[in-house]
Chains A and B, each alone.
Chain A
């Protein structure tokens, strides 16, 4: 048995209240409780965070780069989803 049995965890850090958690990196830990503590020790030692999430890397389902086009390109030709698409007469406010 070796530390290879310590699974990999992805770490997400909230840098300050009001912001979302952002991916910071990964680390190894035997279980969730230790992963959380290791994350605190590694990723917040310069006051980078007020809250941490840890998620087993193996539990993440990701989109495949091969499907990039079918996943993400169709959104590119729908400009009517953005407010700048619409023309509003000058002087109309609060819109």
Chain B
């Protein structure tokens, strides 16, 4: 749908802004054609795009194991999961497009390195157990982050998140189940699982973003009800959830400082290496270059395919103006209905 700014000048921005703020405060959803502050729009585009990019870059570390999955059951699960990530990317790009920025523009910004994706995907998947660790820890952290986004003030984003969270719950469970099978398997399998958890634990904690006192966008996002909880709150929630889950798995978390803090009613955990986080964010992680290169290559190598389909559509439109239609497309108008079942 084309988004149109309401006529400027009919009412001044202050009145619009007051109405916008009141709607947000009253927990009403903001919809695409509503007036919204430029900064709110920009902040949403940035966040939704980053989220969408994370989904499609996030396909790579797991797709890395599709051709090597050790059983046909696991192979089907993994293919379906990686496919879901493409789907989630699509839902999110759609949500971003309602704000007036096209998917193509967003992809260009990703390919040019002007927009980011979650740093976690710059770590490599070295063994099969990494597929499990990603499902359990990375998807687990993502869900912790995403569930509150289902109540985000921007309607299309919130709706996309509802759909994504529903689908994502299988992702986390399959990861946990995969690790459990390894942990209870042979000695070599158990070691593989422990090694993967050791490598993915700390980067997963970094997924919640910098500590609250250093987070650049947090306060404003909270005020706009895009964000509901602070980075540190969500991180703590995640740690509290994971500790008993790790015990059931028969695996340990690589943090000697991890202890139950009776007073706070939470697990205390050791210091996070924020230098590493900043380095990976800056582009110096193990796979930054590889990930973005693959994405760029897929896009460039696909250009002739996209152009072909566009050219064909134009030819067909031309033909139908002249009363000719290819037999195959005869029953197809602009609005179509087709029964699937």
The answer on a CB contact under 8 Å between A25 and B160 is: yes
The yes or no answer to B265 lying at the interface (CB within 8 A) is no
A8, B87: Cα distance in complex, Å: 16
**Which chain A positions have C-beta within 8 A of B90?**
25, 27, 42
**Which chain B positions have C-beta within 8 A of A6?**
306, 309-310
**Which chain B positions have C-beta within 8 A of A51?**
337-340
Supposing A27-B90, A28-B103, A65-B35 touch, asked if A36 and B338 sit within 8 A by C-beta, the answer is yes
The yes or no answer to B334 lying at the interface (CB within 8 A) is yes
Q: Interface readout for A16-56 with B: 1 if CB under 8 Å, 0 if not? A: 00000000011110111111100010101110011111111
The answer on a CB contact under 8 Å between A34 and B97 is: no
Supposing A44-B340, A50-B340, A56-B334 touch, asked if A30 and B34 sit within 8 A by C-beta, the answer is no
Shortest beta-carbon distance from B110 to chain A in Å:
14
Of the four ranges (under 10, 10 to 19, 20 to 34, 35 or more), the interface on chain A belongs to 35 or more
The yes or no answer to B33 lying at the interface (CB within 8 A) is yes
A66, B11: Cα distance in complex, Å: 10
Shortest beta-carbon distance from B49 to chain A in Å:
16
A30, A59, A64: which has the most chain B beta carbons within 10 Å? Answer: A30
The answer on a CB contact under 8 Å between B102 and A4 is: yes
The yes or no answer to B26 lying at the interface (CB within 8 A) is no
Residues 287 to 341 of chain B near chain A (Cβ within 8 Å): 303, 306-307, 309-310, 312-313, 316, 329, 332-341
Supposing A62-B1, A65-B6 touch, asked if A25 and B33 sit within 8 A by C-beta, the answer is no
A39, B334: Cα distance in complex, Å: 14
A64, B11: Cα distance in complex, Å: 15
17 contacts between A and B (CB under 8 A): A2-B306, A3-B104, A6-B306, A8-B97, A10-B1, A25-B91, A31-B309, A31-B313, A32-B334, A33-B329, A33-B332, A36-B332, A40-B338, A51-B340, A53-B335, A65-B6, A65-B33
Supplied contacts A35-B336, A44-B340, A53-B335, 17 more A-B pairs, CB within 8 Å:
A1-B306, A1-B307, A3-B306, A31-B313, A32-B332, A32-B334, A32-B335, A33-B332, A45-B83, A45-B87, A50-B341, A51-B340, A64-B4, A65-B31, A65-B35, A66-B6, A66-B10
Instruction: State the A residues within 8 Å of B (CB).
Output: 1-6, 8, 10, 25-28, 30-36, 40, 42, 44-46, 49-60, 62, 64-66
